[in-house]
Amino acid sequence: MRIVLLGAPGSGKGTQSQRLVERVHIPQISTGDLLRSAVARGTELGRLAREAMEGGRLVDDSLVLGMIRERVGEPDTRRGFILDGFPRNLAQAHALDHLLESLRRPLDAVVQLEVDYKELVRRLAGRRSCADCGRVFNLLTSPPGPDSTLCPKTGHPHRLVQRPDDNEATVAERLRVYDEKTRPLIDFYRARGLLQVIDAEGDVDAVTRRLAKALGEPALAKSPKKKAAAKKKAVAKKKPEARKTAAKAGRRKPAAKRTAAASVRKARAAAKVRHTARRAAAARRGKR
C-alpha cells in the first residue's frame, strides 16, 4: 500500500499517518526527517542539502527525490509506505510520479483529508508547545490534563507557549500557501483515478475509520474495544424481538391488545348502563 495523504495544516494528517503506521505496519516517509537524517549522516545528498540550506536556498526537489529513491529502496517499505510532506506542488507531484514509475512502484492511493477553513483556523490557533521540551499540545483537542506528565526537561508542568508559526496571521498565510500550491494536487491525482476525499472533521477515531474504508483496510477499521461494543449493541437490538416471542406464547398480551380489551369492557359497561336506564324509563312510562 503506497499512499500519499493530502491535507492542510491542522487537518490531522500527522495523527492519522501515525495511526496508519501503528496499525498497518508500513513506514511513514517524512521528507523533513529524510533531510535531517541525510545531513546528520553526512551522505552525499545530505552534504548538498546542507550547502543549500546554509546558503539560504531551498533544497532542490531533485535532492529530495534522490533521498526518497534511497529510502523506498530499503526493505521495510516492501509492503508500502506513507509519504508525508511530499509532494507539495504540481512539479513535485510529476517528479514523484516519474520516480515511482521508474521503480515500478506507483502510488496506490491518495487521500485528501477535508476540513473546513474555519475549523482549520480554530485548530491551529489552539496549538501550543512546551518551551522546555518542545512537546506539542492543543488547547482544543489535546490539552495537558490534570494528570498529564510533568515536563521531562524541568520536572515541573510543561511551559506552554504559542509558536510564531501558529499565530493568527501566520496561520492564515500557511493556509493560503497550501491552497495555492497544494490544492492543485487534488485535481492531478483525481485525473489519475487515485484520489479519495474523506471528511476529516469531528472525532479522531471516526476519521480513522473513514480513512480505513477509503483505503479498503479492515485492519485499521476496528479496535478490539469497538468490536465488544458492537456485540453488546447487537444483543440489545435482539431484546424487542424476544418480547414479541413471549407475547405470542400467550404469557402476556401485547400492550395494544390489552388496551383494546379494556376499551371493549368499558364500552360494554357503558352499554349496560344505557340499557338499564332505558328499561327504567320505559317502566316509568308504563306506570303513567
53 binds Zn ion (CB under 5 A): no
Give least dist CB 163 to Zn ion, A.
14
Nearer to Zn ion, 13 or 158 (CB): 158
Catalytic: 227? Answer: no
Compute how many other C-beta atoms are within 10 angstroms of the C-beta atom of residue 244: 11
Identified catalytic residue from 88, 105, 135, 181: 88
Q: Which CB sits closer to Zn ion, 43 or 142? A: 142
Give CA separation, 125 vs 14, 105, 140, 200, in Å.
Answer: 17, 39, 9, 18
Q: Which of 97, 119, 132, 217 binds Zn ion (CB under 5 A)?
A: 132
Report, in Å, the least distance between residue 128 CB and Zn ion. 11
Selected from 133, 204, 206, 229, the binder of Zn ion by CB under 5 A is 133
Q: Active site includes 71?
A: no
Q: Active site includes 174?
A: yes
**Please, what is the minimum distance in Å from the beta carbon of residue 132 to Zn ion?**
4
Stretch that binds Zn ion, among 16-24, 101-109, 122-130, 187-195 (CB under 5 A): 122-130
> Which CB atom, from 89 or from 138, has the smaller least distance to Zn ion?
138
Among 130, 200, 211, 220, binds Zn ion (CB under 5 A): 130
Name the amino acid, one letter, at 63: L
* Binding pattern for the stretch 151-190 against Zn ion, x by CB under 5 A and - elsewhere: x------x--------------------------------
The active-site residue, picked from 23, 122, 153, 174, is 174
Q: Residues interacting with Zn ion, by CB under 5 A? A: 130, 132-133, 151, 158
Q: Which residues are known to be catalytic?
A: 13, 88, 127, 163, 174
